[in-house]
Structure 1
Amino acid sequence: MLQALVRAIQLPDLRRRILFTLGMLLIFRMIAHIPVPNINPGALDQLREALAGNQLAQLLNIFAGGALQNFSVAAMGVYPYITASIIMQLLQPLIPALQELRKEGEQGRIRLHRYQMWLTIPLAYLQAYGQTLTLERTVNPTNDPFQSLFRSSFDLFGNFLPTFTILTSMVAGTMFLVWLGEQINERGIGQGISVIIFGGIVSGLPGLIVQGFQISQAGDLGTFIGIISFIAIGLLTIVGIVLIQEGQRRIPVQYAKRVRGNKVYGGQSSHIPMKVNMAGMIPLIFAQSVIIFPGIVASWFYQPGAEGIGNMIAGFFFNTFNPTGVGGGFVYMSLLFLLTVGFTYFYTMVLFQQQDIPENLQRNGGFIPGIRPGKTTAQYLTKVLNRITLAGALFLGLIAVLPFITQSITGLQLGLGSTALLIVVGVAVDTMRQLESQLVMRDYEGFLSR
């Protein structure tokens, strides 16, 4: 891997791509420190304390590269774009017009991408309003103007213009990050949106290391052992992520010979790579967002110590769907594990159906040895996919609850969750694979030029 990176730096065109990618990441980190208009700098410390007890906010802060704790224009990161991408993928099997666009090749892909960008904007406004309102009520539950995150009240109806300005600046920051990701796709190395998320997570590693060093200096022998255990669990998690992400079952495929004129086509053998974790990190995002949402809504109505049936119901949901709630830890972990496993199967089947592998095989004269083409092939591939997805689904479920298990074993919570590790390792492996493919392509070009 290091040898491939050194070779890439030595080639002028690849060196330009790498430097361009690093430049886009530098711009992203600069944007992450530009605050939204009307922000109250004195309330940012209270915001950081509020983020420490909000799991959904921590997840969004990871995707935004720490921009949420600074309440910058990039506080939402590229999460609205990811949400729009997921929605478009789920709608394609349900809407025939979108299915036809997907089959039209490059032109259809461009139109689908345009629809995805249009969908991102209203989703970004909705997330900006909900996210800002939640944090404002968390930091300032009594509506005290001196404790507010903003210099003027955040009220879309009573104080429209300043509030709309804040929301628009956050939406503009998200769309600018999406544009940076597209520039990386065209002129850099790696998948642009994933690289942006990767850069945000990695930028927080120095602070995490300093935090761990401070804990080890101030703690006793038990704390030191806890840090060593935390590092060991993290390394084992990285190894497991690599094995699962790279794991696949290869289904052999044979192509029949076809004669067209004086030429013979086909007759070669190939394989279908069925990945153990085809869904990637999406099921984790689904599960964490769904399970935390009831607790977030309940927090708007729950007032600790108050009386009344409504407050009691809100307190039940707040504590149940909160990993730190009273009596809700085990229930939260169990639901999170089950939702992650279920979403893994669901999203994997959606992706598999979109690929139309049985139909493409039959159209190109391919078949699996011992399996009849058509419906029988589809049933066979679905059966194989269900079996190998079980390992990937259980692994993702374990990844989802691993931070809580680690905290109970080591007594430490240093802020780098297993979801972040999954993203970092996955993006790093994918980027290095693309870099090596670029090197192979240039080796072929050099061979042909000779």
Structure 2
Amino acid sequence: MSNTLVKALKTKEFRKKFLFTVFAVAVVRLGCQLPIPCIDSAQVSAYLQSTLGDSFNLMNSFTGGSFLSMSIFALNVTPYITASIIMQLLTIAIPALEEMHRDGEDGRKRMNKITRYLTVVLGLIESGSMAIAFAKQGTLGADYNALSIITMIVALTSGAVLVMWLGERITESGIGNGISIILLVNIVSRMPNDFYVLYEQFMKGKQIGPALIAGVIIAGVVIFTTVFVIILSDGERHIPIQYSKKIQGRKMVGGQSTHIPLKVNTAGVIPIIFASSILQFPLIIQNLFHYQNNGVIGKILVSLSSSSWFDMDHPARSAGLVVYILLVILFAYFYTSITFNPIEVSNNMKKQGGFIPGIRPGKPTQEYLNRLLSYIIFIGAAGLVIVAVIPFFFNGVFSANVSFGGTSLIIVVGVILETKKQIESQILVRKYTGFLND
């Protein structure tokens, strides 16, 4: 990545894009530090820390700590990410959206427009819910009123919309992947604090021997997880495709060989986000409304918290981990079925005169792709589970509670690899352009 960036920075055009990206990201990070007017942000932050526990870790990581500090960018990119996921799910359910998705560039622009409107709606719902909940708990300050609630709703919604706009500007005028770049910076900004927490917990004040062993173990776990995530993100299964020769006019065309690159982790980080959101939602509702139950419901709620998994004193609480693993696998299959359609791929190959060697076109190709896809999805889902469970294990056994984890690492590695490929493609295009101009 560093060599690619150095080569790209030698060109004036890319330097402008890079500096614009740095400026936009700096604006986002500045907004993450600005408190909401007319609100006692310190009291809100203390309330969130005391009530939500580790259920806000993922949200706080995605927002770069601004959710916990309840700044004007507290919602950050989360409404836009949620809106994008909802639009992807609705595309398979609503024929009009599916047709729009197939309309090429024009359809993509219309879907992006709908996603923006949905982001605003979600921002209003989330900010309104939080403002009302905080007001009922008396955490907005001693002299809060209706104006304070409206101010909080407007500030949080406007902050989410501004972050979305900055992300789109980075995509158009910067180095690309705007929302992903902002999400990457948010996650990375929390890592120094997390590593310092680990240092204080396992190394500070200890003798050299135990401190050194703890440092080596922490570094080893981080390196192993990062390398595993890179392998998982880059892993592909190439499906060979052969095109038959045909005559067009007086020329013989076709006959070339190619392949379909099918990623092992086809669903990305979406299954983990979905599974975590489903398990955390009841806990957030319980904490916000101070619901207490010592019976069966209370035990179920405790088992849903990731901090109770791998508890050696209460092994039954790890039942929530089993549910979490099943949800990750389920959503991996579900999301992949939306993004990759074997029937459509098979039909397109047949129309273009392509076939998989040894497999007849049509239904046999569909069945082959379905079998292969099921096998690959399971491998990818198993890899996701391993990456996601590692932080839960160390949290449960050693109480190593940090905001970043498997989900954050998958996002960081994925964004870095994708951005690297995009920068390389820009360098390649510039070389071709320069060659043609000469």
Amino acid across the alignment from 1:46: A
Q: Find the counterpart in structure 1 of residue 34 from structure 2.
A: 34
User: Is 1:374 matched with 2:362?
Assistant: yes
Amino acid across the alignment from 1:82: I
Of residues 133, 140, 145 in structure 2, which corresponds to 1:149? 140
Q: Find the counterpart in structure 2 of residue 287 from structure 1.
A: 275
Of residues 232, 247, 254 in structure 2, which corresponds to 1:259? 247
Of structures 1 and 2, the one with the larger relative CO (CA 8 A, separation 6+) is 2
User: Residue 254 of structure 1 aligns to a residue in which SS?
Assistant: strand
Q: Find the counterpart in structure 1 of residue 299 from structure 2.
A: 316
CA contact under 8 A between 1:190 and 1:434: conserved in structure 2? yes
Q: Distance in 2 between matches of 1:425 and 1:238?
A: 8
Q: Distance in 2 between matches of 1:45 and 1:82?
A: 23
1:124-183: CA deviations, max 9, x gaps? 22222344556x39xx9xx4x4xx234545xxxxx5443233112111111111111111
Which residues of 2 match residues 46-445 of structure 1 at below 5 A? 46-47=46-47, 49-50=49-50, 53-55=53-55, 57-132=56-131, 136=134, 143=137, 145=138, 148-153=139-144, 160-215=146-201, 216-220=203-207, 221-222=209-210, 224-302=212-290, 312=295, 315-324=298-307, 327=314, 329-353=317-341, 356-408=344-396, 410-445=398-433
Q: Distance in 2 between matches of 1:32 and 1:105?
A: 36
Q: Distance in 2 between matches of 1:355 and 1:150?
A: 58
Aligned-pair CA distance for 1:432? 0.8
TM-score relative to the length of structure 1: 0.88
Amino acid across the alignment from 2:31: I
Which structure 2 residue ranges, 5 or more long, are not aligned? Answer: none
Q: Identity of aligned pairs, percent?
A: 36
Q: Distance in 2 between matches of 1:295 and 1:78?
A: 22
Amino acid across the alignment from 1:71: M
The worse-fitting range, judged by mean Cα deviation, of 182-191 and 319-328 is 319-328
Q: Distance in 1 between matches of 2:307 and 2:398?
A: 17
Aligned-pair CA distance for 1:299? 3.1
Q: Distance in 1 between matches of 2:126 and 2:356?
A: 46
Change (3 A) 1:79 1:45: closer
RMSD over aligned CA atoms reads: 2.5
User: Residue 204 of structure 1 aligns to a residue in which SS?
Assistant: helix
CA contact under 8 A between 2:58 and 2:403: conserved in structure 1? no
Aligned-pair CA distance for 1:354? 9.1
Which structure 1 residue ranges, 5 or more long, are not aligned? Answer: 154-158, 305-309
Aligned-pair CA distance for 1:75? 0.7
Amino acid across the alignment from 2:7: R
Q: Distance in 2 between matches of 1:193 and 1:257?
A: 43
Q: Distance in 2 between matches of 1:428 and 1:355?
A: 32
User: Residue 168 of structure 1 aligns to a residue in which SS?
Assistant: helix
Q: Distance in 2 between matches of 1:267 and 1:396?
A: 38
CA contact under 8 A between 1:38 and 1:152: conserved in structure 2? no
Amino acid across the alignment from 2:420: M
Q: Distance in 1 between matches of 2:343 and 2:406?
A: 29
Q: Distance in 1 between matches of 2:39 and 2:297?
A: 30
CA contact under 8 A between 2:58 and 2:404: conserved in structure 1? no
CA contact under 8 A between 2:307 and 2:392: conserved in structure 1? no
Amino acid across the alignment from 2:30: M
TM-score relative to the length of structure 2: 0.90
CA contact under 8 A between 1:298 and 1:315: conserved in structure 2? no
Amino acid across the alignment from 1:427: V
Q: When the two structures are aligned, how many residues end up with a matched partner?
A: 431
1:184-223: CA deviations, max 9, x gaps? 1111123111111001111123323433444422345545
